[in-house]
Amino acid sequence: MLSYIFKKVFEVGWKSTMEKEKCYLCCRFLRRNMVRSKESKAKGFFFGILAAVSYGVNPLGAKYLYEEGLNVESVLFYRYSLAALIIGVIMLAKIIAGRRVAGREAASTSSATGNIESFKVSRGELSTLTALGLLFVISSLTLYCSFLYMDSGVACSLLFVYPVMTAVLMAMLYGEKITKATAAAIALSLIGVLLLYKGDGETVLSTVGVLLVMVSALSYALYIIVANRASVPESELETNHNRFSKYLPHRATIHRLDMSAMKLSFYVLIVCAVSMALFSLTSPERHLLPLVTGREWGYSLMLAIVPTVFSLVSMGIAVRIIGSTPTAIMGALEPLTAVVIGLTVFREALTVNLVVGILLILTAVITIILSKGKSAA
């Protein structure tokens, strides 16, 4: 399209060379921005996929830690604490390195120092970060508890209702349109996830387990939505008023978070760790147990790094670039990851349902990527 514009620009007779030069520069600006937009979208989808795949390994570490005798509260507390420590060390190293560079550049020390991200947050930001942390800890706690009532693979498959919840909530509360491509992607993903569940038709799912997963899915959907709304500049916020408008959270409750995804994840994890520590005091059965063996430390570190640090930071980046609903749909890769782990680690059999389910999920992900790519163009 831009090539056609370039061609027409020089075919039309201009009254002056200056007008031609202005039009030429304008076209170059449009082309540069379109290229950057496509690159940004690709980056967003990459981090969305990385977040989903990383989060999909949750059952692997949790299952082994349960076998070691740890309770849910201990598993989650060490997961959050170790993840927050890792991100905190990385942030501190970046701050120190940035200040050293700023110190060497004497001419622009003040401006360079101002661009260095610190650990400081305002009261408004702290309230939004606390809300995000509570939503995330509720989602994780209910999901991990559901592993005690049903197979972890089934729980992760049921968890995938959260993209539907995200799309519906965004449409109801913020007037976001559900396009045909989005609806098709959601439908294909749900069918694929159902096929991933290898039930024999006689298996009765636990009611408590299903309710726990539904609460987990709703909390996760709300987390994605709040993270998205908090990252959108005030000038770009567009709310379609409807009968649900009175329930919309305004800037008084969702404060803009002008910070990196890593800093956001750090404070969310701090809130999660403190919440789990306090929750463990409510009952003797929930008291935190120490990590004793190297195996326990190893799996705790794995849970802290892969489904926590990688997933949270990647999801924060993806939500800011491609939005809530596309990022949620990328989550179709979470149960897919669980299936792959089952095939490779636990040597489960590869069935026709698995193959068809995997193909449908991949088709859904490709559909949403292509649709967003066209809209960017």
Contact assessment for residue 213 and residue 355, using Cβ atoms and an 8 Å cutoff = no
Does residue 76 contact residue 280 with C-beta atoms inside 8 Å? no
Query: Could you tell me which of 338, 332, 372, 38 has the C-alpha nearest to residue 166?
Result: 332
Residue 19 — very low, low, confident or very high, per pLDDT cuts 50/70/90? Answer: low
Q: Which residue is associated with the tokens 């306090």?
A: 278
Q: What's residue 197's pLDDT?
A: 61
336 near 358, Cβ under 8 Å? yes
Q: What whole-number distance in Å separates Cα of residue 88 and Cα of residue 102?
A: 21
Higher-confidence residue of 359 and 69: namely: 69
- Report whether 291 contacts 78 (CB < 8 A): yes
What pLDDT, in 10s, does the model give residues 164-208? 888 888 888 777 787 888 888 888 878 877 776 655 454 556 788
pLDDT higher at 348 or 155: 155
Q: Is pLDDT larger for residue 6 or for residue 364?
A: 364
Residue with tokens 């027409």: 8
The string of DSSP codes covering 249-300 is --TTTS----S-HHHHHHHHHHHHHHHHHHHGGG-GGGPPPPP-SHHHHHHH
∠ CA(239), CA(245), CA(251), 5° rounding?
60
The token pair that represents 322 in the structure block: 């491609």
Smallest Cα–Cα separation from 173: which of 129, 238, 234? Answer: 238
What whole-number distance in Å separates Cα of residue 30 and Cα of residue 36?
10
CA angle, 299 then 148 then 84, to 5°: 35
Fill in the DSSP letter of residue 308: I
What does the pLDDT look like over 44-61, one tens digit per residue?
Answer: 889 988 988 888 787 778
Q: How confident is residue 235, by pLDDT bands cut at 50, 70 and 90?
A: low
Q: What pLDDT does residue 219 have?
A: 95
Phi, psi of 176 (to 5 degrees): -70, 130
Q: How confident is the model at residue 15 (pLDDT cuts 50, 70, 90)?
A: very low
Residue 250 confidence class, pLDDT cut points 50, 70, 90: very low
Output the pTM of the full model.
0.74
Distance of CA 98 to the CA centre of its chain: 27
